[in-house]
Amino acid sequence: MTTFMTLKEAIATYVKDGDTIALEGFTHLIPFAAGHEIIRQKRRNLSLIRMTPDLIYDQLVGAGCVRKLTFSWGGNPGVGSLHRVRDAIENDYPCALETVEHSHAAMANAYEAGAAGLPLAVFRGYVGSELPLVNTEISSIICPFTGEQLAAIPAIKPDVGIIHAQKADRAGNVLIEGIIGVQKEVVLSAKRSIVTVEEIVDNLDVTSNACVLPAWTIDAIAVAPEGAKPSYTLGYYDRDNNYYKQWDNISRDRDSFNQWLESHVFAQGDV
């Protein structure tokens, strides 16, 4: 059963140095507030998993929390590079960063396999791509029925899965609407899970087919209003595309990034 906590308590309780952590949200519902709390609590040697690393992983990498990154598209969407991630890969600043690179289809399948309790994901992928030359996690398997060669990769099973969602009811059931990405899969595949929500409500008012995570699948729920900004929460606020554009300048330079980190993360208290 889930416990309602402050975000500070939830991160302190469930995120440890050296953990494998997945903060998901496919463009939508990216858990920025939770990521910033991890930075404030100075976690180190994290292995981060995320399909689209986005600004939140640029910030975690730039803050020195991360030693390994598993991803399938590592950019600032519509803008360009993740400069802090590049600085870590190219110059070991602020520390070296190991990378494991997949395709979206691979990671989506690997999350689904993790949620399903399987050791691997099997799918029709990577045909003709050279990613298998540089990623030892990519293997293949022969279908016992047709003989077709299919791609095989390990299931994703993070120590901690963290997502943001619209709302939870007082029992701790969580509603996710809009682009739901791999939100359900990351919670179900993870050993421990934290969900930040915009608000707690008496009743979720869901339709029969709504995406709901039952309270008993979640370890901690923390209220974090605007916890996905500058990404967005459908029904609450829009994506701040201008912030994404401005991040290119802030992140390009180590000093301006560190200044941003001081004023926008460390100077802020618990939400």
Choice from 6, 8, 12, 89 touching another protein (CB under 8 A)? 89
Under the binding rule (CB under 8 A), the answer on residue 242 touching another protein is yes
Nearer CB in complex with another protein: 5/155? 155
Please tell me the distance from the alpha carbon of residue 196 to that of residue 233, in angstroms, as a whole number.
12
Contact 169, 200 (CB under 8 A): yes
Please tell me the distance from the alpha carbon of residue 196 to that of residue 221, in angstroms, as a whole number.
6
Nearer CB in complex with another protein: 203/209? 209
Choice from 8, 12, 16, 79 touching another protein (CB under 8 A)? 79
- The binding track of 194-223 with respect to another protein, each residue x by CB under 8 A or -, is -----------------x------------
Nearer CB in complex with another protein: 145/203? 145
Choice from 32, 57, 244, 257 touching another protein (CB under 8 A)? 244
Under the binding rule (CB under 8 A), the answer on residue 92 touching another protein is no
Under the binding rule (CB under 8 A), the answer on residue 32 touching another protein is no
User: How many angstroms from the chain centroid is the CA of residue 190?
Assistant: 12
Please tell me the distance from the alpha carbon of residue 83 to that of residue 237, in angstroms, as a whole number.
27
Rounded to 5°, the CA angle 33-38-43 comes to 170
Choice from 199, 243, 256, 262 touching another protein (CB under 8 A)? 243
Contact 109, 123 (CB under 8 A): yes
CA distances 200 to 117, 132, 186, 270, Å, are: 30, 45, 22, 18
Q: How many residues are present in the chain?
A: 271
Task: Kindly state the number of chain residues that form the binding site for another protein, as judged by CB under 8 A.
Answer: 61
Least Cβ distance, residue 74 to another protein (angstroms): 5
Choice from 19, 37, 169, 185 touching another protein (CB under 8 A)? 185
Under the binding rule (CB under 8 A), the answer on residue 258 touching another protein is no
Under the binding rule (CB under 8 A), the answer on residue 240 touching another protein is yes
Choice from 3, 6, 13, 27 touching another protein (CB under 8 A)? 27
Rounded to 5°, the CA angle 261-262-265 comes to 60
Please tell me the distance from the alpha carbon of residue 254 to that of residue 200, in angstroms, as a whole number.
38
Least Cβ distance, residue 76 to another protein (angstroms): 9
Under the binding rule (CB under 8 A), the answer on residue 9 touching another protein is no
Pair of tokens at residue 44 = 């180190």
Pair of tokens at residue 16 = 């440890």
Please tell me the distance from the alpha carbon of residue 42 to that of residue 17, in angstroms, as a whole number.
9
Using CB under 8 A as the binding rule, the residues of this chain from 140 to 169 that contact another protein are 146, 148
Hey, which residues does 160 pair with through a beta bridge? Answer: 21, 192
Tell me which residues touch another protein (CB under 8 A).
26-28, 51-52, 71-75, 77-79, 81, 86, 89-90, 101, 103-105, 108-109, 111-112, 123-131, 133-134, 146, 148, 178-185, 211, 232, 234, 238-247, 250, 264
